[in-house]
Structure formats: C-alpha cells, structure tokens
C-alpha cells in the first residue's frame, strides 16, 4: 500500500461531501476495525464504500475474499493502484442500495461479514437492508455517527431507545467496540464516530411474522407521547376490545407507552397480534 494522500493528490481527487467521503488513513485504527469484526482467513467480507482502499487493504491481508461496492467511479484508478498486490479483492462500481439481495449474495460462497466505514447519509437504510435482507449474514461491523451507535445499544425507557434499537437487537447482539474521534478522518467531519458490531443471533427470539413485528415497532414509536394502546388502534385494523384483550394476554398495562417495552415484550406482543392479522 502506497501513501494514500500522495495517490489522491496525484489523481487530482476531490472529496465529495454528498457521498460521505471521510477517509481513514491511520493503520492502527484500520487494523483495529478488522480485529473488532473478528475477521479470519475463512471469512468472506463485503465492504461498503472502499474509498481509497485503506480499510480494504487491511481486510484483504486477513480475509479469504473481499467484495467492495463503491458508488464513485472516480476512485477506480486509485483503488486499482492501491489494491494491485491483492488477488482476493473485487470492486463493483455501483450504488449498494440499488443492488438487490440476490445480486449481492451471489458474490459469496456462503455466509459473509459486512465491514465498513459507512457514508453517514445512508447509515439507517444500510442497517435495515442487511438486517432484513435475504442473506446468510454473520455480522455487521460498521463505523457510524456516535449518536447512532448510542441509539443502537440503548435501553428501554430512554430517549435513545427507538425503532432502530428494537429492530436491530431482536435480530442481533449489538456492542460498541470503540469511539473514534473526528480528527481521525480526512476531511474531518463535524461529529465523532463509533464502531458498532452487530452479530446476527437468530436464536434470540422466535418471531412469527416479521411484517407484523415491523408494523408494531413503527407504531410503538410513531407518537412517543401516546400510549401503546392508542398507537396500536391507529395502525392495526382491529376491534378495540381485541386490542385490549391482546394487551391483557401479554400482561401489558393499558397505559403503557411503546418506549417502555423491552425486546421480549415486543416479540410476545407481535406474535399475539400476528394471530389476528392476515
Ligand atoms: N472505506 C474508506 C475509508 O475508510 O477511508 C472510505 C469510507 S467513506 C466514509 C464512504 C465511502 O462510501 C466513499 O468512498 C463513498 O464514495 C462511498 N459511498 C457513498 N455512497 C455509496 C453507495 N450508495 N454505495 C456504495 N458506496 C458508497
């Protein structure tokens, strides 16, 4: 790997703010991200947004294979130069959000891990795409804004606890592995960041109907000041008495707010609602 700043300069590369281009160059930090993701020589890795390929190089040294999606074609000559010594890296110049699940999965022999210093403007859609998609995904280890990381690990009845907390933690074990100061990026963003690891854990809960669960989570946080009962009435096309009965069955007080439910209560309630929903 050559000096990345030099390569960017030689190629007259201009950072595009709207694509979330804040690059990392610190080798210790890059190695730490690879370690946080638990990458071994058996792992196949999907990297979203390789940028100038600094994280890609560290991944390629350890993993069996690295497949990257990069939206910015202007990075092609830079990535070619940076990654020339590796024969286990493939770069696809496409918008990852526009790629369907099967097209992504076909690059891998089986399960894979996502590792990325994410462009922050697509953090939430990326998390939902990979948690809800048809993939054999082992984990996501991603650099996100610190506030987003805090929301991902929040506890019930706190202001950070919301749709993304519940959706992510029902499917995965979540852990902030490190806080990363804004000075580590080039150019420097206005916020600090954190690396979060989401390890898929399908044994955590048995969800009968994912669509009902998704509607329930959305409705529970739709109007945080309203009671869960009122939010359920507004979203589910069910008779009021049935909703009351479901809440009694789930041992939920009629005045409880959605944000007070823990993960198990969300799953129990969604499985009960699923019995009444087509
Ligand atoms: N991995 C590099 C690093 O750590 O230095 C670059 C990370 S930078 C925060 C995000 C990268 O994602 C940029 O290279 C940007 O062009 C790319 N990107 C932005 N939107 C994308 C999208 N929708 N699909 C694929 N790549 C995208």
> What pLDDT, on a 0 to 100 scale, did the predictor assign at position 32?
98
- What distance in angstroms lies between residue 16's CA and the mean position of ligand 1's atoms? 10
- Residue-range domains of the chain with CATH: 4-200 (3.40.50.150), 210-274 (1.10.8.100)
Atom from ligand 1 closest to the CA of residue 24: 5
Q: What 3-state DSSP class applies to 130?
A: helix
> What pLDDT, on a 0 to 100 scale, did the predictor assign at position 254?
93
State the pairing for strand pair 44-48/112-117. parallel
Taking the C-alpha atoms of residue 35 and residue 13, their distance in angstroms, rounded to an integer, is 29
Atom from ligand 1 closest to the CA of residue 120: 9
Peptide bond into 187 cis (omega under 30): yes
Percentage of the residues of the chain whose pLDDT score is greater than 70: 99
Cβ(99) – ligand 1 distance below 6 Å: no
Average pLDDT, the chain: 96
Helix ranges (H only) for 161-255 are 163-171, 210-222, 228-235, 240-249
Taking the C-alpha atoms of residue 106 and residue 136, their distance in angstroms, rounded to an integer, is 11
- What distance in angstroms lies between residue 134's CA and the mean position of ligand 1's atoms? 23
Residue with CA at minimum distance from ligand 1 atom 21 = 71
pLDDT digits (tens, 9 = 90+) for 185-206: 999 999 999 999 999 999 999 9
pLDDT digits (tens, 9 = 90+) for 155-169: 999 999 999 999 999
| Residue 79: burial class (beta carbons within 10 Å; 0-12, 13-18, 19+) | buried
Q: Averaged over 59-72, what is the pLDDT?
A: 98
Q: Averaged over 96-114, what is the pLDDT?
A: 97
Q: How far is CA 189 from the centre of its chain?
A: 20
> What pLDDT, on a 0 to 100 scale, did the predictor assign at position 194?
98
Q: What 3-state DSSP class applies to 206?
A: coil
pLDDT digits (tens, 9 = 90+) for 129-141: 999 998 999 999 9
HSE toward the beta carbon, residue 223, CA cutoff 13 A: 11
Q: Residue 221, Cβ neighbours under 10 Å: how many?
A: 18
Which band of pLDDT confidence, cut at 50, 70 and 90, is reported for residue 224?
confident
Q: What 3-state DSSP class applies to 2?
A: coil
Closest CA to 220 of 268, 259, 175: 259
> What pLDDT, on a 0 to 100 scale, did the predictor assign at position 245?
97
Taking the C-alpha atoms of residue 1 and residue 44, their distance in angstroms, rounded to an integer, is 21
| Interior angle at CA 185, CA 180 and CA 190, nearest 5 | 80
> What pLDDT, on a 0 to 100 scale, did the predictor assign at position 223?
86
> What pLDDT, on a 0 to 100 scale, did the predictor assign at position 18?
96
- What distance in angstroms lies between residue 240's CA and the mean position of ligand 1's atoms? 48
pLDDT at 268 over 90: yes
Which band of pLDDT confidence, cut at 50, 70 and 90, is reported for residue 38?
very high
pLDDT at 1 over 60: no
Q: What is the 3-state secondary structure (H, E, C) of 70-110?
A: CCCHHHHHHHHHHCCCCCCEEEECCCHHHCCHHHHHCCCCC
pLDDT digits (tens, 9 = 90+) for 230-264: 999 999 989 999 999 999 999 999 999 999 999 99
> What pLDDT, on a 0 to 100 scale, did the predictor assign at position 3?
82
- What distance in angstroms lies between residue 147's CA and the mean position of ligand 1's atoms? 20
pLDDT at 225 over 90: no
Cβ(162) – ligand 1 distance below 6 Å: no
């Amino acid at each position: 790997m050559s000096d990345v700043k030099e390569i960017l300069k030689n190629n007259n590369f201009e950072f595009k703010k709207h694509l979330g281009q804040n690059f990392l160059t610190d080798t210790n930090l890059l190695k730490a991200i690879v370690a946080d993701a638990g990458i071994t020589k058996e792992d196949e890795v999907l990297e979203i947004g390789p940028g100038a390929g600094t994280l890609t190089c560290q991944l390629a040294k350890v993993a069996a294979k690295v497949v990257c999606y990069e939206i910015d074609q202007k990075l092609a000559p830079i990535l070619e130069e940076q990654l020339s010594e590796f024969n286990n890296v493939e770069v696809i110049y496409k918008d990852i959000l526009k790629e369907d699940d099967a097209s992504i999965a076909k690059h891998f022999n089986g399960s894979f891990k996502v590792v990325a210093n994410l462009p922050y403007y697509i953090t939430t859609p990326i998390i939902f795409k990979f948690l809800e998609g048809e993939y054999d995904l082992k984990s996501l280890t991603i650099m996100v804004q610190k506030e987003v990381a805090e929301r991902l690990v929040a506890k019930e009845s706190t202001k950070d606890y919301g749709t993304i907390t519940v959706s992510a933690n029902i499917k995965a074990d979540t852990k902030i592995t490190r806080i990363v100061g804004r000075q580590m990026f080039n150019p420097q963003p206005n916020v600090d960041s954190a690396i979060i690891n989401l390890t898929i854990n399908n044994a955590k809960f048995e969800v009968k109907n994912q669509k009902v669960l998704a509607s329930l989570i959305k409705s529970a946080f739709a109007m945080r000041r309203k009671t869960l009962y009122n939010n359920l009435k507004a979203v589910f096309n069910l008779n009021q008495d049935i909703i009351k009965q479901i809440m009694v069955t789930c041992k939920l007080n009629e005045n409880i707010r959605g944000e007070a439910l823990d993960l198990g209560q969300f799953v129990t309630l969604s499985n009960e609602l699923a019995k009444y929903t087509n």
